[in-house]
Amino acid sequence: MALPSLDHTRSEAEFARAKQLIPGGVNSPARAFGGVGGNPVFIERGAEAYLYDIDGNRYVDYIGSWGPHILGHRHPLIVKSLENALLRGTSFGAPTVQESELAELIIEAVPSVERVRMVNSGTEATMSAVRLARGYTGRNVIIKFAGCYHGHVDSLLVSAGSGALTHGVPSSPGIPAGATQDTLILEYNDIEGLKAAFAARGSEIAGIILEPVVGNMGVVVPVAGFLESCRELCTQHGSVLIFDEVMTGFRVAHGGAQQRFGVTPDLTTLGKIVGGGLPVGAYGGKKEIMDSISPVGPVYQAGTLSGNPLAMAGGLGMLTALKALDPYEELERKTTVLTQGLGEAATKAGIPHSIAQVGSMFTLFFNPEPVTSYSISAKNDTAAFAKFFHAMLNQGIYLPCSQFEAVFVSAAHSEVDIAITIEAANRVFANW
C-alpha cells in the first residue's frame, strides 16, 4: 500500500520567501531540515498535542518546541498567567516580585540550587556558568564531552552535538584558537579517560560541564558510575561540576536528572520548560559559588531583559502546574508504550535499530549498537532516519528533523495519539 503525501504548497512558497530574507530561511539551523533533506513546513498554530501548518495539515507533535511544552501547547494555566502579565506590561528593566516567585519554585525543586540567576537563553546560562566556575576557582580548564551541545558559546562549540553534528560541522569558523585552548574534550561515559584527565591536569581544571542525560547526539544515558565519578573527581580536585539541564530540567523528573540519578552538581543550567515556552534560561547552585556573581562578587554577568515579566509569567504558570499535576509517572508510562511499539515495528521489519529512553524523552537510533558516546552515535544511519522522518511526516507525525535530537512526549498526548503513531511506524516499515 502506497504511503500518503501531504500538500505543502504554501510552506514551499514561504520557505522560498524566507530564504531571500533570512540566512538559510531559518533563525536556527535545527529547523532547516538539513539532517533529513527537503524543506521545512511552516507552522500556523499549536494546540494541546498537535501542530497545524499553513497548508491546513495537522500533526501529532513530538518536538514540543524542542522540549518546553511538557504539558502540551497553550495549556490553560500558562496562557492565563501570560494574559495577566501582559496586562501589566512587557518589560520594565527593574525588579519584579515574579522573579523571586519563580526563583523560589526552582530552588524548591532542583537539589543543587540555593541561589539562581535568570538569563534569556540556555546559551547565556552555560556561558555564565562556565565563567563563574573559572572565576570562582581561579582556574581556566573546562572539561566537556564530545557530542554534548551547550549552546553557541565560543569555548564550548567544539565537538558539539545538536545542529552542529547534524550539519557535519562540530565546531565553527569565527572562533579563534585561543577561545578553545582551555577546553578539554573527553568521550562521554568514559570513566577511565576522565580519571586520567584529572590525574594529569587536576590542579588546572576549573570544572566539568555535561548533559547528565545527553539530548544533543540523540538521547544518551549515563552508564553506571559515570555521573558519580564526575562528582567525586570534582570534589577531590576542588573543581566545579556543572550539569547542563537545559533539556532535562523539569523534564526527566521534577528536580531534573540530578534528582533522578541522585547526583548533585555544584551548578545547574536551566531553560526550555522553565520559561513555559518563552525564551528564558537560568543558572544556579551553591550559595558560596553563586555569590561570586556581580553585584555581590567580582564575576560579571548582566542582561537588560533578564527576568522579563512575560518569561517569568510563563515559567510561573508552567512550574506551578507541574507541581500541582505531577505528570511524571504517567508521562514515562506513555513514553514507554510508544518506544516499545516503535521498537517492535522496527524489529518486525528487520530494521537495525536501538532505542534510548529516559522519562519522557527518547531517540530511535537507526543503529543496532546501543549509543553510549559520540563515536557510536556518529555511526547512525542518517539516510535511513531521513526516510523514516519524511514518511512519518506525511502521515501527520511531527518528529525532530535530525537523527541526533531527542523526541519529547507531553502530558497532552493521549493513548490514541500514541497508538496512531505506532500504527504509522508499522505502515512505514512495512513499505520500507
Residues assigned a catalytic role: 149, 244, 272
Using alpha carbons, list the distances in angstroms from residue 55 to 27, 34, 51, 61: 21, 21, 12, 16
CA-to-CA distance for 168 and 52, rounded, in angstroms? 30
Using alpha carbons, list the distances in angstroms from residue 378 to 160, 167, 367: 12, 12, 10
Q: If 0-12 CB within 10 Å is exposed, 13-18 middle and 19+ buried, where does residue 191 land?
A: middle
CA-to-CA distance for 82 and 298, rounded, in angstroms? 35
CA-to-CA distance for 66 and 331, rounded, in angstroms? 16
CA-to-CA distance for 64 and 73, rounded, in angstroms? 7
CA-to-CA distance for 363 and 400, rounded, in angstroms? 10
- Can you give the length of the chain in residues? 432
Q: Quote the distance between the C-alpha of residue 7 and its chain's center.
A: 30
Q: E strand or H helix at 97, and its extent?
A: helix 97-109
CA-to-CA distance for 325 and 229, rounded, in angstroms? 34
Longest dimension (CA), the chain: 67
| Amino acid (one-letter) located at 36 | V
Q: Are 28 and 415 in contact (CB under 8 A)?
A: no
Which of 344, 277, 359, 341 minimizes the C-alpha distance to 310? 277
CA-to-CA distance for 113 and 216, rounded, in angstroms? 24
Name the 3-class secondary structure at 193: helix
Q: If 0-12 CB within 10 Å is exposed, 13-18 middle and 19+ buried, where does residue 296 land?
A: exposed
Write out 314-342 in H/E/C secondary structure: HHHHHHHHHHHHCCHHHHHHHHHHHHHHH
Q: Give the torsion sign (CA, 324, 327, 330, 332).
A: negative
- Residue written as cell 537560568? 282
CA-to-CA distance for 364 and 219, rounded, in angstroms? 9
CA-to-CA distance for 87 and 410, rounded, in angstroms? 29
